[in-house]
């Protein structure tokens, strides 16, 4: 995905591949071994409900889902995701909290699962970056 | 590599800070101009190990890095009863001055990173004539907060994990895997609440806006260097700070983040070696000027 083609649809396509990428990364699943969580992740307007059990993604469904709850949400602009997933991201676009600081992403809800597994979520959401390197 | 022994030596020095004895751990290497290095918040002097092992730089500089009290191998003082640790501007300044006095350092260069960079600005404000030159890495008079520090010390969040995970994003993506992991390891090993307590200085007590304009760089040269990937103290924060200080030198370092000396020592060296060389040449020029002045005085007297 190029930066100019960054759209909700392009980001959604990348997001849809994350569970399979995680399955191929057992060390990351192991680091999330104590994590059970419902969260909302993705582009601002079209995020996904994601269910995590013992570090693995067991369900991923596009929002909205009627009366489905979540503990925390991390949503970013399509451009932010495209920048974050660059093989060598630019300064200020290279970290989830750099994106919130520059107001390209929002973090909402009960942040406890996010903060207890902060590196897990950083690495989980960076999987398309690593995947891009593998296929480059 | 097997059997190779690194050149730095670690020792303890007893330092009177605030009227109380503190057992301070420091490592040093080299001979010449004293260069005191200050670590970042929540870490320790191991961050400077590559500089301490630099054969070229230690030919001209006596490089010294110490663990602040409550950090690394410098324990809290005996009087500490477990109350919340909070670093203040006054206490930090006093600690640095007391350490330099305890080692009888004559006009050292001080180089600090992050909180160490901020306190370097305060040294430039309050005590410029005590120092030969001051170097602030990732330094600014103030920077906007980007997370709530209460997450750093609470019983239901692993302090080491969250501290390391927070600062991991401040490391440039180009930094090698080994130095990156080592930089984060120091954060995983910090004492409970110590990173948070250091940030009390950074976030609350050490706001230097409105004070830096009075810095006299003719009394003590000031160098400010910030990595382009540091989104905590951004290059813009440092450039803004430098613009308010007449004569301050400012550099934005490519492919580096908030921990230049430990996250990518080779890349950092390309920026710091010329500055240290400049400080050394200034010293030689100053001495040769004062020598020729005393020679002239000798002729006329």
Scanning A56-115 for CB atoms below 8 A from B yields 88-89, 91-92, 94-98, 100-102, 111-112, 115
Residue B3 in domain = no
Q: Which token pair is B201?
A: 């200085």
Residue B83 in domain = yes
pTM for this prediction: 0.95
Q: How many domains does chain B have?
A: 1
Residue B4 in domain = no
Judged by CB atoms closer than 8 Å, whether chains meet at B166 and A88 is answered as no
Residue B111 in domain = yes
Candidate from B146, B147, B173 with C-beta closest to A89: B173
A contacts of B164 (beta carbons < 8 Å): 119
Domains contained in chain A, CATH given: 8-135 (3.30.1050.10)
Residues B34-80: tens digit of each pLDDT: 999 999 999 999 999 999 999 999 999 999 999 999 999 999 999 99
Judged by CB atoms closer than 8 Å, whether chains meet at B146 and A116 is answered as no
Judged by CB atoms closer than 8 Å, whether chains meet at B173 and A119 is answered as no
Scanning B205-244 for CB atoms below 8 A from A yields 228-229, 231, 234
Residue B2 in domain = no
- The closest alpha carbon to B26, from B69, B65, B70, belongs to B65
Q: Give the 3-state secondary structure of residue B133.
A: strand
Instruction: Give the phi and the psi of residue B158 in degrees, each rounded to 5.
Output: -70, 115
Cis peptide before A64 (omega within 30 of 0): yes
CB A122 within 8 A of CB A94: no
Residues A31-58: tens digit of each pLDDT: 999 999 999 999 999 999 999 999 999 9
Residue B126 in domain = yes
Residue B48 in domain = yes
Q: Based on the number of CB atoms within 10 Å of its own CB, is B75 exposed (0-12), middle (13-18) or buried (19 or more)? A: middle
Beta-carbon contacts of B187 under 8 Å, excluding residues fewer than 6 positions away, are B42, B43, B160, B163, B164, B167, B195
Candidate from B146, B161, B229 with C-beta closest to A101: B146
CB A120 within 8 A of CB A55: yes
Residue B215 in domain = yes
Kindly identify which residue of chain B lies nearest to residue A88, measuring between CA atoms.
Answer: B173
What is the reported pLDDT for B276?
98
CATH number of the structural domain spanning residue B177: 3.40.50.1820
Q: Where are the beta strands (DSSP E) in chain A?
A: 36-43, 48-53, 56-62, 72-76, 105-109
Buried b (16+ CB within 10 A) or exposed e, B148-172: ebebbbeeebebbbbbbbbbbbbbb
Q: What is the DSSP letter of A46?
A: S
Residues B151-169: tens digit of each pLDDT: 999 999 999 999 999 999 9
What is the reported pLDDT for A81?
97
Measure the CA–CA gap between B278 and A14, rounded to whole angstroms.
50
Per the structure, the complete domain to which residue B84 belongs is given by: 9-300
Candidate from B158, B168, B231 with C-beta closest to A101: B231
Residues B253-277: tens digit of each pLDDT: 999 999 999 999 999 999 999 999 9
Q: At residue B114, does pLDDT exceed 80?
A: yes
Residues A62-97: tens digit of each pLDDT: 999 999 999 999 999 999 999 999 999 999 999 999
């Amino acid at each position: 995905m190029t930066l100019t083609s960054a759209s909700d649809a392009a980001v959604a396509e990348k997001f849809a591949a994350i569970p399979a990428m995680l399955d191929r990364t057992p060390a990351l699943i192991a680091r999330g071994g104590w994590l059970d969580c419902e969260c909302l992740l993705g582009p601002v307007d079209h995020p996904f409900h994601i269910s995590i059990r013992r570090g693995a993604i067991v369900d991923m469904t596009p929002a909205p889902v009627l009366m489905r709850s979540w503990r925390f949400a991390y949503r970013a602009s399509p451009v932010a995701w495209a920048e974050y997933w660059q093989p060598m991201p630019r300064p200020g676009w290279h970290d989830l909290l750099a994106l919130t600081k520059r107001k390209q992403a929002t973090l909402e809800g009960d942040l406890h699962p996010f903060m207890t597994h902060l590196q897990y979520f950083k690495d989980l959401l960076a999987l398309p970056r690593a995947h891009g390197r593998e296929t480059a | 590599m097997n059997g190779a022994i690194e050149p730095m030596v670690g020792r303890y020095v007893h330092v009177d800070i605030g009227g109380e004895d503190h057992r301070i751990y420091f490592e040093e290497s080299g001979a010449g101009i004293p260069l005191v290095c200050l670590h970042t918040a929540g870490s320790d002097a191991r961050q400077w190990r590559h500089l301490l092992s630099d054969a070229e730089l230690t030919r001209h500089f006596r490089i010294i890095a110490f663990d602040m009290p409550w950090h690394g191998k410098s324990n809290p003082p005996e009087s500490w009863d477990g109350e919340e640790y909070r670093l203040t501007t006054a206490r930090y300044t006093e600690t640095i001055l007391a350490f330099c006095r305890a080692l009888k350092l004559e006009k050292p260069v001080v180089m600090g990173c992050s909180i160490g960079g901020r306190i370097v600005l305060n040294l430039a404000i309050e005590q410029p004539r005590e120092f030969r030159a001051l170097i602030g890495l990732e330094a600014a008079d103030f920077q906007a907060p980007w997370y709530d520090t209460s997450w750093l010390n609470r019983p239901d969040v692993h302090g080491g994990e969250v501290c390391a995970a927070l600062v991991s994003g401040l490391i440039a993506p180009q930094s090698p895997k080994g130095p990156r992991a080592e930089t984060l390891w120091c954060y995983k090993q910090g004492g409970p609440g110590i990173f948070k307590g250091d940030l009390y200085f950074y976030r609350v007590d050490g706001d230097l806006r409105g004070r830096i304009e009075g810095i006299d760089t003719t009394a003590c040269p000031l160098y400010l260097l910030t990595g382009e990937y540091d989104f905590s103290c951004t290059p813009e924060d440092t450039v803004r700070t430098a613009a308010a200080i007449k004569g301050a030198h400012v550099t934005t370092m490519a492919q580096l983040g908030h921990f230049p000396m430990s996250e990518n020592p080779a890349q950092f060296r390309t920026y710091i070696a010329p500055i240290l060389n400049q400080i050394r040449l200034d010293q030689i020029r100053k001495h040769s000027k004062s020598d020729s002045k005393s020679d002239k005085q000798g002729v006329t007297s």
